[in-house]
Amino acid sequence: MHTTPRRPILAIAAWAIGPLAALLVAHQAMAESRITAPPNARWSAECGTCHVAYPAPLLSAQGWHRIMSQLDRHFGTDASLEPAAAAEIGAYLERYSGSSRRTAASPDSMRITETAWFVHEHGEVPSAVWRSPAVKSAANCAACHTGAEKGDFRERGIRIPR
Amino acid sequence: MGGEGAVVRFLAAAAAASVLAGAANAATPAAEQRRFEVEARASAPGFSGFSAQRGEALFKATHGGEWSCSSCHTGNPLAQGKHARTGKPIAPLAPAANPERFTDAATIDKWFRRNCNDVLARACTAQEKGDVMQYLMSLK
pLDDT tens, position by position, A111-129: 999 888 899 899 999 989 9
Which residue in chain A has the smallest CA separation from B110?
A81
| Residue A57: Cβ within 10 Å count | 18
Kindly list the distances between the CA atom of residue A30 and the CA atoms of A57, A108, A148, in Å, as whole numbers in the listed order.
Answer: 15, 31, 14
Complex ipTM > 0.85: no
Kindly report the nearest CA distance between residue A75 and chain B, in angstroms.
Answer: 9
d(CA A72, CA A54): 18
Please identify among residues 89-108 of chain B the ones whose CB lies closer than 8 Å to any CB of chain A.
106
Q: What DSSP string runs through B79-132?
A: S-EE-TTT--EE---STTT-TTTT--HHHHHHHHHHHHHHHHSSPPPHHHHHHH
Contacting residues of B for A50, CB less than 8 Å apart: 83, 85-86, 88
pLDDT in tens, chain B (140 residues): 445 556 556 555 555 554 444 445 568 999 999 999 999 999 988 999 999 999 999 999 999 999 999 999 999 999 999 999 888 899 999 999 999 999 999 999 999 999 999 999 999 999 999 999 999 999 99
Contact B85/A78, CB-based, under 8 Å? no
Contact B85/A50, CB-based, under 8 Å? yes
